[in-house]
Amino acid sequence: MANTRTVTIINGDGIGPEVMAATVRVLEALKVPLDFEYKDAGTEVIAKYGTNLPDETVEAVLRSGIALKGPTGTVVGGGLPSANVGLRKRLDLYSSLRPVKSVPNVKTRYEGVDLVVVRENTESLYAGLEHIIVPGVVESLKIITEKASTRIARFAFEYARKHGRKKVTGVHKANIMKLSDGLFLDCCRKVGREFPDVTYEEVIIDNLCMQLVKDPTRFDVLVSENFYGDVLSDLCAGLVGGLGVVPGANIGERTAVFEAVHGTAPDIAGKGIANPTALMMSAVMMLDHLDMGAAARSMENAIWKVYSSGEVRTGDIGGKATTREFTDAIIAAL
């Protein structure tokens, strides 16, 4: 058997512990050579640590190089900074990777959606550089650098080539933000010239949103700055059934964090009815990242098999199955 790899597990808040327990059950049923080390983050551990992102959690991910993370809550308009953003900054997880694919037997307006959102994760408006100029006037700074833009563009083109994707679309608003978004596009163009086998195009963000809603199948890999990518990621998830069925990863040079991108769903937390698909599919991405491709395909095929049969599905997609029943069906399908 291959050398055992340690994975840092971060349960998160709300339904996080439930969907994590379900996902770990499937990974254990796969008998992959993984050890699980549990660490804390999120709003529910602030009372214990005085922070939503304890140093020991960050240090554990740095040691293991890999984490599987449930959703963490963030107070709107106040409180501590987001644990998600903090983790991305401290680990330099510069690329947010969000594959969006139609799920078998989940009825949406579209069929055959298969696209990937690659989002720069460290700067733009999400640098969080805000200040009050005078009472009633706030300035928020949008930071775009050549280094970060080139790095994310290279990630997108290399991902496209590695996975047999044919086209990369640069997302921008350079018609208005000529310097900042103009720099981002310049970097995408320079990198694109190194990949003659991959078609490169540019689409303005508002037009892209309309085009996605009209026909998402015309797009392949989307690469964007932080803020645009955040909006696009959720829009694209809505094309295939919502955040409950879409996985995500945040990847850096040394570490990678695979996480469910949906919220903490406090209204159903503790009821045992949450859909663990998003975190399970994130675990599939993690297995691929760890070069455990055979196990990844087994897990992915089992999930698709359960969806294809349509017999066992959770409430968010029109069924009545509990989290445990859904997980049992996937383990049986293995």
> According to the model, what pLDDT value does residue 2 have?
54
DSSP state letters, 129-192: -EEEEETTEEEE--B--HHHHHHHHHHHHHHHHHTT--EEEEEE-TTTSTTHHHHHHHHHHHHH
From CA 273, how far away is CA 271, in angstroms rounded?
Answer: 6
Q: What is the pLDDT of residues 89-98, one digit of tens each?
A: 899 999 999 9
> According to the model, what pLDDT value does residue 203 have?
98
Rounded to 5°, angle at Cα 219 from 218 and 221: 160
Instruction: Answer yes or no: are the C-beta atoms of 36 and 24 closer than 8 Å.
Output: yes
Please give the DSSP secondary-structure letter assigned to residue 245: G
> According to the model, what pLDDT value does residue 128 have?
76
> According to the model, what pLDDT value does residue 76 have?
65
Instruction: Answer yes or no: are the C-beta atoms of 52 and 43 closer than 8 Å.
Output: yes
pTM of the model as a whole: 0.91
> According to the model, what pLDDT value does residue 13 have?
94
Q: Please provide the distance, in angstroms rounded to a whole number, between the alpha carbons at the two ends of the chain.
A: 19
Tens of each residue's pLDDT in the chain, 334 residues: 458 999 999 999 999 999 999 999 999 999 999 999 999 999 989 989 999 999 999 999 999 999 999 999 876 656 677 888 889 889 999 999 999 999 998 889 999 999 999 999 988 887 778 899 999 999 999 999 999 999 999 999 999 999 999 999 999 999 999 999 999 999 999 999 999 999 999 999 999 999 999 999 999 999 999 999 999 999 999 999 888 899 999 999 999 999 988 889 999 999 999 999 999 999 999 999 999 999 999 999 999 999 999 899 998 888 999 999 999 999 999 9
Q: Which residue has the tokens 């809603």?
A: 213
CATH 3.40.718.10 in the chain: give the residue spans.
1-96+244-333, 109-239
**For residue 151, which of 121, 181, 196 has the smallest C-alpha distance?**
121
In CATH, the architecture of 109-239 is 3-Layer(aba) Sandwich (3.40)
**What is the CATH code of the structural domain delimited by 1-96+244-333?**
3.40.718.10
> According to the model, what pLDDT value does residue 78 have?
61
**For residue 281, which of 100, 106, 152 has the smallest C-alpha distance?**
100
